[in-house]
Amino acid sequence: MPATVAAPEIRVGDSWTYRVRDGYTGIERGDQSYRVTDANTDRIGVAVSGGGRLDETYIYNREWNWLRRPATNLQSFDYSPAYQAFAFPLAPGKTWHARLIATDPVDGRRFPVSIDGTVLGWERVKVPAGEFNALKIKRAVYIDYWELTVRGRSEILEYEWYAPAVRQIVRREDSSQYLSYLYGGRRYPGYVYASKGDNGGPRFVRDDWLVYELVSYSVR
């Protein structure tokens, strides 16, 4: 494997399709497709459809770092500086720490974001699209997003397997928990809700755990 991996060359028309499933139950949530519609000197526009989400355009810089994209289990935000999903050139053992602001484009509210990233090393990954040599990346993310009397800070764990051969990830796992101020005494598989009569106070609640695996791709 190469000692380092440089940022990829992305071109209009490049595309990737992922199969999405629930990490707790294994139930499939359909396929999600990404297609590059714009690739200029400083940003990339990607049309995203399927996988349980409304059609949307994600915006990245030239190193696949997020400028506008949904946070894990949250809505889309504008990020300044970019949400550092990667720190090219990538190499096993590399780490990074980023602090930024997420702005909700709907109401203009701003929230601090902190990211701790690590390149864990090379792995041979088998997905529906084939087998690939990929760098496994871990990100611990903290977003101080809040809704009054409903929820507080989100703590997010993201794993991605980046394969230079496809210029994108071939596998992704996202999970999170958030500080909840609401109690219902309910329990679902994979979720923990605070019970009634537990002396009150906010509790962390597990949100969705989603797994994405590459089904097909086309790069020029």
- Confidence class of residue 17 from pLDDT cuts 50, 70 and 90? very high
pLDDT score for 187: 41
pLDDT score for 193: 46
pLDDT digits (tens, 9 = 90+) for 85-143: 999 999 999 999 999 999 999 999 999 999 999 999 999 999 999 999 999 999 999 99
pLDDT score for 55: 85
pLDDT of 52 strictly over 90: no
Average pLDDT, the chain: 91
Please write down the HEC assignment for all residues of the chain. CCCCECCCCCCCCCEEEEEEEECCCCCEEEEEEEEEEEECCCCEEEEEEECCEEEEEEEECCCCCEEEEECCCCCEEEEEEEECCCCCCECCCCEEEEEEEEECCCCCCEEEEEEEEEEEEEEEEEECCEEEEEEEEEEEEEECCCECCCEEEEEEEEEEEEECCCCEEEEEEEEEEEEECCCCCCEECCEECCCCCCCCCCEEEEEEEEEEEEEEEECC
